[in-house]
Structure 1
Amino acid sequence: MEYRYLGSSGIKVSAIGLGTWITFAAQINCETATECMRVAFENGINFFDVAESHSGGQAQIDMGIAFRRLQWRRSEFVVATNIYWGGKGPNDRGLSRKHIIEGLTASLKRLQLDYVDIVYGQRPDPDTPMEEIVRAFSWCIDKGMALYWGTSEWPAHLVMEAIKVAQQLNLIAPVVEQPQYNMFHRERVEKEYLYLVDKYKIGMTSWSPLASGVLTGKYNDGKIPSDARLAIQDHPVINRLRAGFFSAEGHRKIEKVQQLVLIANKLQVTPSQLAIAWCLKNPMISSVITGASRPSQVEDNVKAIQCLPLLTKDVMHELDTILGNKPEPVFNFRSS
């Protein structure tokens, strides 16, 4: 396993992490979740990501049970949780001071932990003043409930606003952003966030490296396997992803994945390993958060680390040619 610094902080996270979205308490039970975590840890993964919204908090409960069963020393693992959607009440969602503190308190209880290493504001909250958000996260850190805080899917200008507010008030600034990043979703990381990383040394813990399974090649015949993530019914996000799968753009993505599979075969790696390694090739990425519904998937994903030397400049160019979506570099008018 490779370990990378989380932005400008002194904490190191495994280059591959394990997350709970859709899988824990949805696709898999607590026993399987514990086994996935055990296998992950034995393969060098020390970074585990969860959210209060995952399966209505049950994912946090299952992860907390796993921590108790596995009896790891607290210094041996890094756990992050996301705060935003904590329930249906008027103050159970968003990033008000009330919900940040109450949501994190409830999360710690479900996780059976004294503190989390990282707490994220899972989405930007336009209805709460930035000063209130920064003060609330800083208070949680001062009280020992979390060690660092970060943002998830925030536009770059709001991350910079949070940093500047923290600096002005002598409070604690976010050290990490958690964006979606994969071969089909790259514009924000590779262009919008460049200044964030260069100027403020923000770390990136990216999610959905396999584009909800599309990049594994399992959908290349145009059908959805019964045990696949896109087969889950009555889930608003999955419903939207499934609709996109059957769209004209979805068909174009499958055609590209079919070509990507040929590259993976030539390199003698799995399509999943190729997709994860592609994310890790970006030096901006601190950790790639993967999902798994069985321990064997964890073991397969971890092997992506070994694929990094195979992604030469020529191979990356070949992949970019297939994808056809590499962002244009920021134009320097002085050179025109």
Structure 2
Amino acid sequence: MTNSTLPLRRLGRTGLKVSALSLGTMQFGWTADEATSHAVLDAYAEAGGNFIDTADIYSNWAPGNPGGVSEEIIGRWLQERDRSDFVVATKVRGPMGGPLREGLSKRWILQAAEESLSRLNIDYIDLYQVHWPDLETPIEETLEALTDLVRSGLVRYIGASNFPAWRLTESLWKADKHSFARFDSLQPEYSIAAPVRASFERELAILCQTHGIGVIPYSPLSGGFLTGKYRKGQPLPDSERAGGIQRRFFSDQNFAVVEELVRVADAHGAKPAQVALAWLLAKPYMTAPIIGANSVEQLRDLLPAATLRLTPEDITALDEVSKWERARTDV
């Protein structure tokens, strides 16, 4: 690997060092073909990136894609690399064909991990995450299965994704009570945009900070809304995602957020997306926002965020324009 330009951060309270920006791979085999995906991986590695995030279901919503394709693309790329240079994260929970091939039962977790290892062409998974809760399965059963994987050496660390605060708290309590492996990371949706900022910060932020859980948020740019290409009173960009972004994020407050991102970016000679990521990286509980790219150019536009240092005045201004109403019990 080349000299790193992406700084490293600890994953929560662990000793694991990961790049400050994680590479998300949901688009691999969907909106990015294998050659493009490998080019993006090459560019990420050349910048010193080591933290690759995927999932078994990526991207089974695409026509003709049964799931597992992203893992397979990464696995073929890793064959030409030193696997020990990379932190590989994947997930289990979603449907992989039939009622017994989904959920968080012990039976499926153990089977799904073996299948992910095969597709990724690796001997162990650095970070194995449950993709979202399975309320039909006791959390003890899920944690027992994940603990078995850790003790067998097939998994190094475990994490949760899309967990509400009550379920994450329950999992920490049960892990402590039964001496199970505990979740060392949380992958939530989190950005400066409303309503997702409040959804995470209301309870989960203090929970993660207090218990040393590394935060690796997905959609840190709110589907592209925070890049600056969506502005109040201007036509929608030509994008398949534009309609959904309009329904979810178009509000007076969010347009004001974008204007402030643009102002701060101009002051630093940066881009609004870089500022949105730098704002996240300034949070004390933050490990690494997950960025995706359909091209090398898109990736390289985002990487400078890892070394962009916002001033206290920048952060205060961004906090103020994106603030959410707190109850008397909020901290």
Q: So what's the TM-score if we normalise by structure 1?
A: 0.87
**1:262-273, aligned counterparts within 5 Å?**
262-273=263-274
| 2:319 matches 1:320 | yes
Structure 1 residue 224, shift from structure 2 partner = 3.1
Q: Which residue of 2 aligns with 1:27?
A: 31
Shift of 1:158: 1.3
Q: Distance in 2 between matches of 1:13 and 1:328?
A: 35
The alignment status of 1:202 with 2:213, answered yes or no, reads yes
Task: Report what 1:239 is aligned to.
Answer: none
Identify the structure with the greater helix proportion. 1
Q: Which position in structure 2 is the counterpart of 1:163?
A: 172
CA distance in 2 between counterparts of 1:328 and 1:315 reads: 25
- How far residue 324 of structure 1 moved from its aligned partner, in angstroms, is 3.7
Letter in 1 for 2:279: W
Per-residue CA deviation, residues 1-51 of structure 1 (Å, 9 max, x unaligned), is 221111111101111110112x21111111111111111111111100001
- Spell out the pairing of 1:147-296 with structure 2 (5 A cutoff): 147-184=156-193, 185-220=196-231, 221-225=234-238, 228=239, 230=241, 242-246=243-247, 250-252=250-252, 253-254=254-255, 256-296=257-297
1:142 matched to 2:151 = yes
2:9 corresponds to which letter in structure 1?
Answer: R
How far is 1:259 from its partner? 4.3
Kept in 1: contact 2:202–2:330 (CA 8 A): no
How far apart, in 2, do the equivalents of 1:150 and 1:273 lie? Answer: 26
Separation in structure 2 between the aligned mates of residue 104 and residue 286 of structure 1, nearest angstrom: 24
Residue of structure 1 equivalent to 2:141? 132
Q: Deviations over 1:207-246 (max 9, x none)?
A: 1111011111223333132xx4616xxxxxxxxxx34514
Q: Does 1:103 pair with 2:112?
A: yes
Which residue is 1:297 aligned to? 298
Q: Which moved more, 1:198-207 or 1:137-146?
A: 198-207
Deviations 1:33-85 (A, max 9, x none): 1111111111111100001111122111111111123x2x2221101001111
Letter aligned with residue 314 of structure 2: V
Q: Give the stretch that moved more between structures: 286-295 or 92-101.
A: 92-101
The secondary structure found in structure 2 opposite 1:82 is strand
Q: Give the direction of change, closer, same or farther, for the CA distance of 1:167–1:320 in structure 2 (3 Å limit).
A: closer
Distance of aligned partners of 1:35 and 1:149 in 2 relative to their CA distance in 1, 3 Å threshold: same
Q: Alpha carbons of 1:328 and 1:103: their partners in 2 closer, same or farther (altered >3 Å)?
A: same
SS at match of 1:273: helix
d(CA) in 2 for partners of 1:259 and 1:171?
45
Distance, in Å, in 1 between the alignment partners of 2:257 and 2:288 is 25
- The TM-score, its normalising length taken from structure 2, stands at 0.88
Q: What's the secondary structure of 2:54's corresponding residue?
A: strand
Summarize the Cα distance change of 1:25–1:93 in structure 2 as closer, same or farther, 3 Å threshold: same
Please state how far the C-alpha of 1:258 moved relative to its aligned partner. 3.8
Seen in structure 2, the aligned counterparts of structure 1 residues 28 and 166 have a Cα distance that, compared at 3 Å, is same
Q: CA RMSD in A?
A: 2.0
Match of 1:37 in 2: 41
Q: Structure 1 CA distance, aligned partners of 2:223 and 2:240?
A: 7
- Output one character per residue of 1:151-206: Cα deviation in whole Å (capped at 9) or x when no partner: 00101221121122122222211111111111112224333124423442111111
Q: Is this contact kept in 1: 2:92–2:131, CA < 8 A?
A: yes
Distance in 1 between the 2:257 and 2:210 partners? 35
Deviation at 1:251, TM superposition (A): 4.6
Shift in CA distance, 314/64, structure 1 to aligned 2, threshold 3 Å = same
The SS at the match of 1:151 is strand
One-letter code of the match for 2:316?
Answer: H
CA contact (8 A) 1:119 1:146 kept: yes
Contact 1:7 1:202 in 2 (8 A): yes
Mapped to 1, the partners of 2:99 and 2:204 lie a distance apart of 32
Show the counterpart of 1:78: 87
Is the 2:260–2:318 Cα contact (8 Å) retained in structure 1? no
Q: Which amino acid aligns with 1:160?
A: T
With over 3 angstroms needed to count, the CA separation of the structure-2 counterparts of 1:208 and 1:193, relative to structure 1, is: same
Equivalent in 47, 55, 59 of residue 51 of structure 2 = 47
Gaps of 5+ in 2: 1-5, 60-66
SS in structure 1 of the partner of residue 222 of structure 2: coil
Partner Cα distance (2:56, 2:77) in 1: 16
